[in-house]
Structure 1
């Protein structure tokens, strides 16, 4: 079954042969492993879509090809799709690698909202078995942010007393949300967003590029994330942002018309990625505006926007939990944001 989180135009991290912009991290991992002093648990931190999972699989592939650190080269090898071991990793059939992620709900057929404790127990069983090859046993947690509390506590117990030749590669988009005790058991490796040249190269490797002015605009809006760039180009993200701006800048009548069209578009059943993109853009824009207002001394506006951000987050969580009407949710949050941005006496 294909990964439901895989964006159109993307390549699964397990089969991706290309990684751009993280040469220093690759060199560190290769040399640390070769020294025989590598940490048993690594926390790969950074924004979503910049290559953390691809790096994790790349490193796992390297380790499993060279189970004795002293024999490993000082640079990570590029995954060779002709290698039987690499093909097993891609197929999810490796006996020495477990990819821990949100499971699919057997009733709805959709991904669950969290990595459950049952999944972590699978990891415990996996690590308790002796490797048939005498190799490392590697668990990639993708993403550790998705662990619910019971699952997080269960993974913590394993991290506290790891089996011999066990290695954890935890991926996190927001490490501050993880249990401090989990972070303390891991060696953090921070990955930066891709520079414009690396983002362009990554998109080129996917056979994708924006043209003309859209290329510069896309690079600026993507914030160094290949995933965000794919949403902008392949999912109409640029058009969504244009419509969003029109809602906030237009007259009441103009805004109402665009608002309804935008809500109709993002709430379609097949547009879940687009809906999530809008929510993410709204959240980021509100926070930027709140910071700007605070720095400008407009504390009333900053407070209104901060409160609205918290309210929207709660409403989105409730809508997800109860499968509420997304169209109405989109209309409501856009209307409330327009209202919040209207000058009040305290803003004067």
Structure 2
């Protein structure tokens, strides 16, 4: 499996190969006009929830730039990449000398995607810019996402952003820009993308051919929150069933509640359950935060503080379990036990 395919969700199209983008027409128009003006920023921070098309937009814009290296003669709109165009083929095959895609690498020993983008990956950008482009074209770096940069890697990227080479473009993706170094954010032009509308979701899921049972479609789309990635996790990774079990656990008590706890823990500890586990722990964090906010609004400050502390404790517990590779089933039973206690 190539590194571009590693970590790609089942049923998804790799952003570099995706020639369709739905729901972000205003952002596309802004990027095209900004580039054509010749006054575009050398670093754009494309931010928004996971799975809404940020990486697809970045590759789409990169394709546009490399096909039209002179801004003044570039079209005012981004068009669907032509699959037969040499630039599109080079990007899709990873053979382009004008684009570098920085993302979490695959561990050669385990074959699994690493937990962070390391400084060794960022050093590739220094080597990338040190080479002279045979075409005199732009050099584009896509950081996907910058949230995955560890501290040393983030500082290394910052140094390049502070003194960018000529005809260099950085497309910095982020699911949570508040977690980035303020100095990185300050050197980028922010471009906020929002959750997909129902119409855009229908088109995007239709392109993927995602089959959702008619009796569950409305519920799945509501839970997806305008994110294609969430929809894929709900349907192709059992996410919807896990969330149903979680709701049943919260509503139950005694042996029935314990049964649902074991059901969830077993589903999240099986082989190839990493995606489902990450999906559920994210949902868990959202659930605890929402519960704390609701209790605060109702005037129950003690209850709000309890859930806020519980969220912090569980995050620490999950971090320790991951660091020491502790038994995932027991970890999840402990976490769920703390919630219902």
Fold match, TM over 0.5? yes
Q: 2:202 maps to what in 1? A: 200
- 1:269 is displaced (CA, Å) by 2.1
Q: 1:292 maps to what in 2? A: 294
* Aligned with residue 107 of structure 1, among 101, 105, 109: 109
- 1:25 is displaced (CA, Å) by 0.1
SS of residue in 2 equivalent to 1:139 = strand
Contact conserved, 1:128 with 1:163, CA < 8 A, in 2?
Answer: no
- Counterparts of residues 243-262 of structure 1 (less than 5 Å): 243-262=245-264
SS of residue in 2 equivalent to 1:229 = helix
Distance across 2 between alignment mates of 1:4 and 1:289? 35
* Aligned with residue 152 of structure 2, among 139, 150, 153: 150
SS of residue in 1 equivalent to 2:196 = coil
Is structure 2 residue 140 aligned with structure 1 residue 138? yes
Distance across 2 between alignment mates of 1:127 and 1:213? 52
Distance across 1 between alignment mates of 2:271 and 2:317? 19
* Aligned with residue 308 of structure 1, among 304, 310, 315: 310
SS of residue in 2 equivalent to 1:103 = coil
- 1:215 is displaced (CA, Å) by 1.4
Runs of 5+ unmatched residues, structure 2: none
SS of residue in 2 equivalent to 1:265 = helix
- 1:71 is displaced (CA, Å) by 1.4
Distance across 1 between alignment mates of 2:211 and 2:286? 24
- 1:6 is displaced (CA, Å) by 0.6
Contact conserved, 2:55 with 2:173, CA < 8 A, in 1?
Answer: yes
- Counterparts of residues 1-348 of structure 1 (less than 5 Å): 1-2=1-2, 3-339=5-341
- 1:77 is displaced (CA, Å) by 2.0
SS of residue in 2 equivalent to 1:67 = coil
SS of residue in 1 equivalent to 2:140 = strand
Contact conserved, 1:100 with 1:139, CA < 8 A, in 2?
Answer: yes
Deviations, residues 267-294 of structure 1 (Å, cap 9, x unaligned): 0121111111111111111111111011
- C-alpha RMSD over aligned residues: 1.0
- 1:107 is displaced (CA, Å) by 2.1
Give TM-score, length-normalised by structure 2. 0.98
Distance across 2 between alignment mates of 1:270 and 1:154? 33
Give TM-score, length-normalised by structure 1. 0.96
Deviations, residues 310-339 of structure 1 (Å, cap 9, x unaligned): 111111111111111110111111111111
Contact conserved, 2:242 with 2:267, CA < 8 A, in 1?
Answer: no
Q: State the number of aligned residues.
A: 339
